[in-house]
Structure 1
């Protein structure tokens, strides 16, 4: 991991380094690891969190609390006025799978790109690089989607994935061994919850949000009333229907939204889905066991 960070630093000589922290456990581990490594090397960095304007509030607070705990400088950016989730719902209604790339662009990609271009670089047209250290891991589904490289250059943005080869077990072990705080949202519904655009969401996700985070569900209901008033009556998570789930769009490298893309491209075989549910249950049981051991 140190080698891949050093390689990115040596080749691209970034003017700034951003640690991308969504609030999920993968990005938590990546941010903690990279922060320790960069601090040891005497290099300055900032933590970046994209506030999508449609997320679970506990996740945003988790990111802020962790940054305060470790004294990390935090930059939190939101979409531009007119491109916030409420604005998009008012114009177009709740998104389905075909709208995911547009949601990604407006809610996540454009705020980061503007920050890199207009804040991190010395001038808009300067030929400078900004290193973005992410928590992307190279699971089988993500490799099939084209996420094979640990370092990728995209204009001035250098995407680097130091924990690319970590497994889910590595993540859990790192959290336990370093005593890192856990995101209660991730533990409850198995997603970080920083973005609830709903493009790939199903009814099961809506039920979990409604059960565990009713204030987020209430916000979605409020937005639904706005959508209805503007001629867009369909509900959040009303797509995709089974037929649409079977039609996979071409893979796209959406670095800030890898989890959603991976779930959409995952095999829809019912038996495999059942196995995933059982895996989630076993994982939650292990987490609870670890908590009980630490209490003792």
Structure 2
């Protein structure tokens, strides 16, 4: 039975990181719970900056609309968008336009290492036993490579952003990252998402964790949240096209809606297949042999509930 506005709804089952099975809630009750979660994080930790992580997808715009009143505590408070360098320009522009329309400061972060260099095996490990010796990755990633792509393209700029705010004072000062992860989003998020997740100088907070898909739709309709045409066309935000969880034919689908300029993933697929180029570990995308163990991502990459094919060898 389809959910109607005002009807209570709940995530089915008990998520792995929830203290109890989420109860039935109307949208207004779900909103109240979201504010309670944020209040708990602010009361529990010495937060010196509040930032909303926005991928540009439709879910992240609901998050941003909900948390706007909290982004006024310091000059560090802002909307944060990680420009991975391999996203669709329309998504980045959607984030910029929405932040401007809602009169919110925007920080657009960029990774130190490029996707191009990662694919071509030109990013050498800087720490650990392989420091200065081995590439951290080479070739187009399968699901097992998602953790490398996430760390290099998204987490690294977020960590640098945190360091720029609090430096070495991670024990006495924290940055609150408000993210849009939800238990109802996928099987994977059902297992991994937490309402509040401290990580050194960063406090990850997912105030929408308990929201159902029906509640997200109701909120968007109630508040006329601007939708990203990229998400409407591709069913993902389009801000990270690393290919780790791509489905067969995905590049063709992207090119159908966004043919010019070509996606960086498509461009480097072409370059890596030229004579004399560094060989990739597999074509993008290309099926192969073993099952992956994907790492967590706070927001953005297209993460289906189950990988569309097994991982490829590296």
Question: How high is the TM-score relative to the length of structure 2?
Answer: 0.74
CA RMSD of aligned residues (A): 2.3
Secondary structure of the corresponding residue to residue 238 of structure 1: coil
Instruction: Describe the superposition over 1:144-180 as per-residue Cα deviations: whole angstroms up to 9, x where unpaired.
Output: 5332x20010111101111111112211221121122
* Pair 1:186–1:64, CA change in 2 (3 A): same
Question: Aligned residue for 1:75?
Answer: 107
What is the 5 A alignment of 1:64-213? Answer: 64-80=96-112, 83-91=113-121, 92-117=138-163, 119-121=164-166, 123-127=167-171, 128-139=173-184, 141-142=187-188, 144-147=190-193, 149-213=194-258
Secondary structure of the corresponding residue to residue 214 of structure 1: coil
Answer with 228-237 or 21-30: which moved more: 228-237
What is the 5 A alignment of 1:35-74? Answer: 35-36=68-69, 38=70, 43-44=73-74, 45-74=77-106
* Pair 1:258–1:10, CA change in 2 (3 A): farther
1:55·1:216 contact (CA, 8 Å) conserved in 2? Answer: no
* Pair 1:125–1:192, CA change in 2 (3 A): same
Runs of 4 or more, structure 1, over 4 Å off, are 233-236
CA-CA distance at 1:198 after TM superposition = 0.3
CA-CA distance at 1:133 after TM superposition = 0.5
CA-CA distance at 1:233 after TM superposition = 5.2
Tell me if 1:256 matches 2:309: no
Considering fraction of residues, name the structure with more helix. Answer: 1
2:53·2:81 contact (CA, 8 Å) conserved in 1? Answer: yes
Extract unaligned runs of 5+ from structure 1: 269-296
* Pair 1:233–1:267, CA change in 2 (3 A): closer
What is the 5 A alignment of 1:261-276? Answer: 262-264=305-307
Extract unaligned runs of 5+ from structure 2: 1-33, 122-137
CA-CA distance at 1:193 after TM superposition = 0.4
CA-CA distance at 1:20 after TM superposition = 0.5
Q: 1:32 aligns with which of 59, 65, 74?
A: 65
Paired with 2:263 and 2:189, the residues of 1 have a C-alpha distance of 37
1:21·1:47 contact (CA, 8 Å) conserved in 2? Answer: yes
Paired with 2:43 and 2:258, the residues of 1 have a C-alpha distance of 44
Answer with 123-132 or 254-263: which moved more: 254-263
Task: Report how many residues are paired.
Answer: 255
1:96·1:200 contact (CA, 8 Å) conserved in 2? Answer: yes
Tell me if 1:21 matches 2:51: no
CA-CA distance at 1:194 after TM superposition = 0.4
* Pair 1:195–1:96, CA change in 2 (3 A): same
Paired with 1:221 and 1:141, the residues of 2 have a C-alpha distance of 29
Question: Aligned residue for 2:45?
Answer: 12
